[in-house]
Amino acid sequence: MTIIPKEREDILNKPAFAHVATIGPNGGPQSSPVWFEWDGDFLKISQTTSRQKYRNLRRDDRLSLSVQDPEDPYRYVEVRGRVERFEDDTDNVFIDRLAQRYLGQDAYPSPDQSEQRVVLYVRPEHTTMQ
């Protein structure tokens, strides 16, 4: 059985925002919207190494994310899982691909090009949906 239900996989292929929740250093939740890509096995998220979310996930790899269908706000999928690996986003290839998906631009318009970017590979373990 696949973790992502077939009747909700279409949501993950739309340029919708994922609201990602991680566990902060004091044990409380930290949540923020992010761009993502679904490749059929992993939810991939771009992140900079200076962000709290990155530090949270380095300490505790568990997260939850929810994605709402942009065409029907009453339809969503929540995915719980773990970051299986962190990979350097060499030459910003991944974030530029996300900029094409979300902004229609060839390159991510980052004000600080010195930030180190990584790709988080999230392995889904559980889903809920509406």
AA identity, residue 72: D
Tally of domains in the chain: 1
Q: How far from 108 is each of 9, 67, 95, CA to CA, in Å?
A: 26, 22, 6
Q: What's the whole-number mean pLDDT along residues 61-81?
A: 95
Distance in angstroms (rounded) separating the CA atoms of residues 68 and 75: 6
Lowest mean pLDDT across 2-16, 48-62, 80-94: 2-16
Q: What's the whole-number mean pLDDT along residues 48-61?
A: 96
Q: Are 42 and 85 in contact, with CB atoms under 8 Å apart? A: no
Whether 123 has a pLDDT exceeding 70, the answer reads yes
What would the pLDDT profile of 81-114 be if each residue is shown by its tens digit?
Answer: 999 999 999 889 999 999 999 999 999 987 666 7
Q: What range does the domain containing 47 cover?
A: 6-129
Tokens of 69: 């269908």
117: domain CATH number is 2.30.110.10
Would you state the pLDDT for residue 5? 86
Whether 43 has a pLDDT exceeding 70, the answer reads yes
Q: Are 22 and 53 in contact, with CB atoms under 8 Å apart? A: yes
Asked whether residue 13 is assigned to any structural domain, the reply reads yes
Q: Are 66 and 122 in contact, with CB atoms under 8 Å apart? A: no
Q: Are 81 and 123 in contact, with CB atoms under 8 Å apart? A: yes
Would you state the pLDDT for residue 111? 63
Asked whether residue 1 is assigned to any structural domain, the reply reads no
